[in-house]
Amino acid sequence: MCFEGRVPHENEKHDAIIVKGFDTSQPEGFMFIQRFQGLESGKGFRKLGRLAIVSKTEPLPVDRVSRDSNKTIEEPYLTAMVINREDKQTFREIIAGHDNISVLTSAMHHQIIGSLNKNEPQFSGQFKLNFVPGMLAYNDYNKLILGLFADEIYQDPTVQNWESKTGKSKTGNLKLGNL
C-alpha cells in the first residue's frame, strides 16, 4: 500500500511517500517513508534524505495466509572492467542487466561505492554504465529511478569523502541499450 502524506522532520512538515509493505505469510508488516521535494516547489521533483523504516509492526490489512514459499529475486548480471586511459588514469566500465530497475540500481550502487572504497590512486573517478540491450524499457519510470540513482550516488558520503580526499570528481555515463 502506498500513499502520499506529510511527515515531521526537524520541526517542519515534509511531503513524503509512505509505503506499507506486507507479506501475508508473516504476522506483521513494515512502514517506510521517503521524503521528497514536490514539483510545486518550482525546483523539480527530488528525493530528500534516505528511505527510512518507521515501523516493523504494521497490522496486516487481510488475514494471514499460510504458505510454504521460498521465492527469491534473481541476482542481476553485473560485471566491471578497469580500463586504462591515455593519461595513465583508469576508469571502470560496468555492464549491468536485470528486468527490475530497482534491483539493478541497488547492485550498481554497491559496485560504485566498493570501487571508491579501494582508494586506488590511479582511478580517475569515471564510471561508464552500460545496460544489457533489451532488458529494460526506456520509459518515464525507469528514467525517474535512474535519475534518483544518480542523485543518490552524488550525495553519498563515501563519494563526497572520496572526492574531497583525492581532489577528483566522480563522473558517470549511462547507456541504456541502443539509446
User: 87 in a domain, yes or no?
Assistant: yes
Question: Do 30 and 95 fall into the same domain?
Answer: no
Lowest mean pLDDT among 22-26, 66-70, 128-132, 150-154: 66-70
Question: Do 98 and 26 fall into the same domain?
Answer: no
Q: How far is CA 97 from CA 47, 75, 142, in A?
A: 24, 9, 13
User: 67 in a domain, yes or no?
Assistant: no
Lowest mean pLDDT among 61-70, 158-167, 170-179: 170-179
User: 64 in a domain, yes or no?
Assistant: no
User: 71 in a domain, yes or no?
Assistant: no
Where is 72: in which H helix or E strand? none
At residue 179, does pLDDT exceed 60? no
At residue 40, does pLDDT exceed 60? yes
User: 65 in a domain, yes or no?
Assistant: no
The interaxial angle of helices 101-117 and 140-155, nearest 10 deg, is: 20
Q: What is the pLDDT of residue 35?
A: 92
Question: Do 47 and 105 fall into the same domain?
Answer: no
Q: Which domain holds residue 140?
A: 77-176
Q: How far is CA 101 from CA 9, 14, 138, 149, in A?
A: 29, 26, 11, 10
Question: Do 135 and 100 fall into the same domain?
Answer: yes
User: 69 in a domain, yes or no?
Assistant: no
Lowest mean pLDDT among 19-23, 102-106, 114-118: 19-23
Question: Do 95 and 171 fall into the same domain?
Answer: yes
Strand 77-84: give its sheet, edge to edge: 77-84, 90-97, 123-131, 171-176
| Number of folded domains that form the chain | 2
CATH number, residue 149: 3.30.750
Question: Do 130 and 170 fall into the same domain?
Answer: yes
Question: Do 41 and 91 fall into the same domain?
Answer: no
- What lies within 8 Å, CB to CB, of 93 at 6+ separation is 80, 81, 83, 127, 128, 130
Q: Is residue 11 classed as helix, strand or coil in its secondary structure?
A: coil
pLDDT above 90 covers a percentage of the chain that reads 18
User: 113 in a domain, yes or no?
Assistant: yes
Q: What is the pLDDT of residue 33?
A: 92
At residue 176, does pLDDT exceed 70? no
Q: Which three cell numbers stand for residue 129?
A: 554504465
Mean pLDDT of the chain: 85
